[in-house]
């Protein structure tokens, strides 16, 4: 049984999809949970209500992951409201898919700024309080696209691959203070976006996946909860693939 009693977690992009599943899983395991959201106030309010219904303290913070100042403000809000940050989950991300020859500068920059730089800014913001506490868990949500590449996703694949490098570098820097840094690499997961994929494409994906199905947000969340727990205290700098065997490395 994973126990996170007394811990405070911060999940970026926690109002919907995988981020919401992570926030709820951490709350279920005993943590108080803050999360950031970009603009959907209704989804944020619903997620916050679910966290509080589990008997945990919750906090929803509107923030733009691509803005370094916003990250500092978000972390300060969590420290003021909940007292500390034991667990950071860098989940916030966007896609702007296109072939390289057609990809605009804005499409490239938006994805890199949100998916990669956003994780850097948030990690930087929690580093000081975690160093002071001499403990902490940082979990970055990367992707099979960052491990194997994906046609039409040069920006997304580059950002997610960069996130793996950031994970390993940060793990080396912070290990001496008892802070672990790991990544979870989801495969194809059933969310609001993937449910709308054409049936033929869904069939291709399941055929390529050895376990023969999509994953669920809850399966990703369970892996994050493990890495956030004391059970994973001797694991750092690793990438845990939760992809049904899609990418075997």
CB atoms within 10 A of CB 99: 10
Sign of CA dihedral 28, 13, 90, 177: negative
In three-state form (DSSP H/G/I as H, E/B as E, the rest C), the secondary structure along 76-130 is HHHHHHHCCCCEEEECCCCCCCECHHHCCHHHHHHHHHHHHHHHHHHHHHHHHHH
Q: Are 179 and 131 in contact (CB under 8 A)?
A: yes
Please choose, from the candidates 115, 100, 215, the residue with its C-alpha nearest in 3D space to the C-alpha of residue 160: 115
- CA–CA separation, 110 vs 4, rounded Å? 34
- Token digits of residue 49: 């209500």
DSSP assigned state of 153:
B
Measured between alpha carbons, how far is 196 from 177 in angstroms, rounded to an integer?
A: 44
Q: Would you name the residues annotated as active-site residues?
A: 156
- Secondary structure of residue 212 in the 3-state scheme: coil
Q: Measure the CA–CA gap between 106 and 220, rounded to whole angstroms.
A: 30
Say how far apart CA 227 and CA 223 lie, in whole Å. 6
How big is the chain, counted in residues?
Answer: 249
Write out the two tokens for 237. Answer: 């700098």
């Amino acid at each position: 049984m994973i126990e996170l009693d007394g811990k405070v977690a911060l999940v970026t992009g926690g109002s919907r999809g995988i981020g919401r599943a992570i926030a709820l899983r951490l709350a279920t395991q005993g943590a108080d949970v803050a999360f950031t959201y970009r603009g959907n106030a209704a989804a944020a309010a619903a997620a916050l209500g679910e966290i509080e219904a589990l008997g945990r303290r919750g906090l929803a913070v509107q923030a733009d992951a691509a803005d370094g100042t916003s990250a500092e403000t978000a972390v300060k809000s969590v420290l003021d409201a909940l007292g500390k940050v034991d667990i950071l989950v860098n989940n916030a991300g966007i896609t702007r898919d296109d072939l390289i020859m057609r990809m605009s500068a804005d499409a490239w920059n938006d994805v890199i700024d949100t998916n990669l730089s956003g994780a850097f800014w948030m990690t930087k913001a929690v580093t000081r309080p975690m160093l002071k506490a001499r403990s902490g868990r940082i979990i970055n949500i990367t992707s099979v696209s960052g491990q194997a590449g994906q046609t039409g996703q040069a920006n997304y694949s580059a950002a997610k691959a960069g996130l793996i490098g950031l994970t390993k570098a940060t793990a080396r820097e912070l290990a001496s203070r008892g802070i672990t840094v790991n990544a979870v690499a989801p495969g194809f997961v059933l969310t609001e976006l993937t449910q709308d994929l054409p049936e033929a494409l869904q069939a291709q994906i399941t055929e390529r996946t050895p376990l023969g199905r999509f994953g669920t947000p809850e399966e990703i969340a369970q892996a994050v909860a493990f890495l956030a727990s004391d059970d994973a205290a001797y694991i750092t700098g690793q990438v845990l693939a939760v992809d049904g065997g899609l990418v075997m490395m």
